[in-house]
């Protein structure tokens, strides 16, 4: 019997190779980040003042992981966590001047990763792959939420609540 193709298996393999690639590149560039910190770092760079909850939603990380990562980045002097004036329980995140100084080098490392991943794919194939992966993430996010609450939240409605359009997410992530 032939082995069944499952996208999640290859997404997992792609993730592991991506982490290895990023770890190697960060070391080569002598950047004070770990590969797992890059999504939080870049969210802080591209959306200064973003909340930890918004980072968690956008990256698929749980809130505790985002909080630990933000604390670690803050400890390295790369991110500033500021309590929201309207709700002191909410932390808003932004890069510090030291983080801003590293942004170009970090983005170059991520660009190298994208060039490696997309090598041999046309722009149209890249777009299709990204849109399909975003749809699969949206589907699974909804299933996870339904399992947690017992009701279907509709991940795309949560996306809209967070001020994100699913099509924009595809463009932003890819």
Q: What is the 3-state secondary structure (H, E, C) of 112-160?
A: HHHHHHHCCCCHHHHHHHHHHHHHHHHHHHHHHHHHHHCCCCCHHHHHH
Confidence (pLDDT) at 174: 46
List the chain pLDDT tens, one digit each, 174 residues: 677 778 889 999 999 999 999 999 999 999 999 999 999 999 999 999 999 999 999 999 999 999 999 999 999 999 999 999 999 899 999 999 999 999 999 999 999 999 999 999 999 999 999 999 999 989 998 998 888 777 655 544 444 444 454 445 444 544
pLDDT at residue 152, rounded to an integer? 56
Residue 23: predicted pLDDT: 98
Strands of 31-77, DSSP E? 50-51
Cα 62 to Cα 78: distance, rounded to the nearest angstrom: 21
Which residue ranges make up each domain of the chain?
1-119, 122-174
For residue 82, the model assigns a pLDDT of 96
Q: Are 155 and 141 in contact (CB under 8 A)?
A: yes
Distance CA 79, CA 101 (A): 12
CATH of 1-119, one of 1.10.10.10, 2.60.40.10, 1.20.1260.10, 3.40.50.720: 1.10.10.10
Look at residue 135 in the predicted model and tell me its pLDDT.
Answer: 93
């Amino acid at each position: 019997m032939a082995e069944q193709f499952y996208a999640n298996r290859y997404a997992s393999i792609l993730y592991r190779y991506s982490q290895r690639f990023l770890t190697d590149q960060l070391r080569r560039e002598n950047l004070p980040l770990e590969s797992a910190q890059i999504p939080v770092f870049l969210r802080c760079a591209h959306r200064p003042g973003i909340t930890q909850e918004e980072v968690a939603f956008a990256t698929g990380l749980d809130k505790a992981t985002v909080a630990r990562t933000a604390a670690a980045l803050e400890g390295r002097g790369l991110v500033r966590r500021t309590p929201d004036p309207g709700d002191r329980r909410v932390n808003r995140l932004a890069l510090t001047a030291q983080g801003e100084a590293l942004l170009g080098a970090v983005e170059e490392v991520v660009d190298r990763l994208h060039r490696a991943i997309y090598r041999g794919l046309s722009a149209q194939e890249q777009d299709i792959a990204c849109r399909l992966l975003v749809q699969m993430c949206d589907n699974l996010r909804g299933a996870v939420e339904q399992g947690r609450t017992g009701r279907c939240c509709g991940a795309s409605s949560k996306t809209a609540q967070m001020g994100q359009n699913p099509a924009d997410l595809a463009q932003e992530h890819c």
